[in-house]
Amino acid sequence: MIGPVGIIGRLFLPPATGGDRLPGVMSAASASHVLLDAAGIAEVLERLAAEIRAGLPEGVPIALIGIRSRGEVLARRLIRLLEGLGVEPIDHGTLDITLYRDDLAEIGPQARVRGTEIDFDLSGRCIILVDDVLYTGRSVRSAMDALVDLGRPQAIRLAVLIDRPGRELPIQADFVGLRFSEPGVPVTVLLTESDGIDEVRIG
């Protein structure tokens, strides 16, 4: 089973040739504004797919459900990678958590509801919930509330591309692509399908 990558950020550089510094692991002092480029995101997703594959329960139908909007993009990419690892069939869905947010009253008329697209029964399945960044945990809690309103999965597991500090709820990811340990530093995920570029930026 392949574990989470790095503790601050991995740039996927060639191994270091000297000293005792871990290869490819950034220190806070050397952190740039671009944490991952397109190649880095691709490698993180490959590792994440391998970790998910190793952690799947035997004999249980699975489905990947992405939280709108970048979670759904990542879910589609992970499905292609998992199929390449021999995992099939895999159902896919998209979850809109807007109406389940605990700050909905504050958002008011600015809230945009784009709809949930899940055309299969959740009951008895292992659901892999996919999001881009795990931060406070509130979005994930909203997503789980939405899922249990739709059915009774056998299990819900959380896969995220980036895990950053700042949790406000006792929620942790089961599958993590990369851990970023700098508190208070914003992390932004950009994906070609929605943003025209693959990049993870900090600051």
Along the 203 residues of the chain, how does pLDDT read in single tens digits?
333 444 334 333 323 323 332 223 333 434 459 999 999 999 999 999 999 999 999 999 999 999 998 999 999 999 999 999 999 999 999 999 988 876 544 554 544 556 799 999 999 999 999 999 999 999 999 999 999 999 999 999 999 999 999 999 999 999 999 999 999 999 999 999 999 999 999 98
Query: Does the residue 2 lie in any domain?
Result: no
Contact 129, 172 (CB under 8 A): no
Among 28, 19, 70, 69, which Cα is nearest to 45's? 70
Query: Does the residue 26 lie in any domain?
Result: no
Query: Does the residue 145 lie in any domain?
Result: yes
Query: Does the residue 153 lie in any domain?
Result: yes
Query: Does the residue 176 lie in any domain?
Result: yes
Q: Which residues contact 173 (CB under 8 A, 6 or more apart)?
A: 134, 158, 159, 160, 163
The total number of structural domains that make up the chain: 1
For position 113, what pLDDT does the model report? 52
Query: Does the residue 125 lie in any domain?
Result: yes
CATH number, domain containing residue 99: 3.40.50.2020
pLDDT tens column, 122-136: 999 999 999 999 999
For 131, the domain range is 34-202
pLDDT tens column, 23-32: 233 334 344 5
Query: Does the residue 7 lie in any domain?
Result: no
For position 102, what pLDDT does the model report? 62
Query: Does the residue 110 lie in any domain?
Result: yes
Cis peptide before 89, with omega less than 30 degrees from 0?
yes
